[in-house]
Amino acid sequence: MSAIGNESLKDFARQRHLESLTPQSLRAIVAGRTGYSVARAQRFLAFRSRIDRELLCHRTIRANRYTAWFREGRQSLEQVRAFIVQFSVFSNQFLVAQLQKVINADSLAGMRASKEILANEIGVVFQSGRKAAAVTDPDREGDPELVSTDGTVDGGVFRFRAAHFEWLLHIAEKLGLDFNDVGKRHHATPSTLFFCDELIRLYGSEEYLTSQAASFAVENWAAAGFWKELIEGLTRFNEGSGMNLPLAFFTWHDRLEAQHARHTQEELEKLWFERDVDEDCFIRDGNCMLDGVAAFWDGLDAQRRQLPSA
Ligand SMILES: [Fe+2]
């Protein structure tokens, strides 16, 4: 039972112009938790508007030229191959960034939250608490069409086949690429490498607030709809080419992001109320991270223009 009912919480928020705050923060203010007050909440909302104006309007969130083209589904086999190769490098280098985030966590809870992502990425299936449908075909253990997008890796089962890289590898193989054609730094374009290194530097930063700003930026980018654009494009490509590439790597991540998006605001509020956030630094680091993301997509866009089109 909460100390205050939902209706009174809404009244409390309305009277103080705090309607856009999450119920978690409102409850913390009512309860007088350390760091939480009406005055600080009002300053947070001013910061939140600044984030909308100065960070979330970044072109990589608002308008992504590459995914807008990709979504039309008119890519040639060479262009799809090149895309999968660059994505596979990002997928592997993300492990390095995520491991740094684990190591640089400044609390046990933070370390565990980062390990959830890392362990899941390398193949530990989330335990969602719901009873999963029994997988009778051993070939489908770890299949992204079947594994959960929520829950915890604690007590979860490790499957080689549940590694996200292996999901990508299936697509690569269908495209005629071998294990050694994907995933390594030497397969990357300079733009992809710049992005991966920015992820390691910022998302995996030793500075807690830098890593949080980069996480916030990355999560907002991921929730902005690029997964859906990639899925649409690949679905059309499959229809046109009759190739039947497995898309579950993409549909799984799209489902995952739909859940993350709900938590992003809660996490930002928690950070702001419980830490001393330097607003200018947060916006600067967030933008640096999004510039890295933009470099990745710009690199893909430049590369596809040099390849034979369909
Ligand atoms: Fe992943």
164 Cα: distance to centroid of ligand 1 (angstroms): 5
- Collapsed DSSP state (helix, strand, coil) of residue 4: coil
285 secondary structure, DSSP code: H
* Most confident listed range (25-34, 134-143, 256-265): 25-34
d(CA 50, CA 280) in angstroms, rounded, equals 10
84 Cα: distance to centroid of ligand 1 (angstroms): 14
Q: Residue 4: its pLDDT value, please?
A: 74
121 Cα: distance to centroid of ligand 1 (angstroms): 5
Kindly report the pTM of this predicted structure.
0.90
For the chain, give the mean pLDDT.
91
7 Cα: distance to centroid of ligand 1 (angstroms): 39
d(CA 167, CA 86) in angstroms, rounded, equals 15
d(CA 54, CA 51) in angstroms, rounded, equals 5
123 Cα: distance to centroid of ligand 1 (angstroms): 10
φ, ψ of residue 131 in degrees (nearest 5) = -75, 115
- Give which of 113, 69, 88, 70 is closest to 219, Cα–Cα: 113
pLDDT digit string (tens) for 64-91?
A: 999 999 999 999 999 999 999 999 999 9
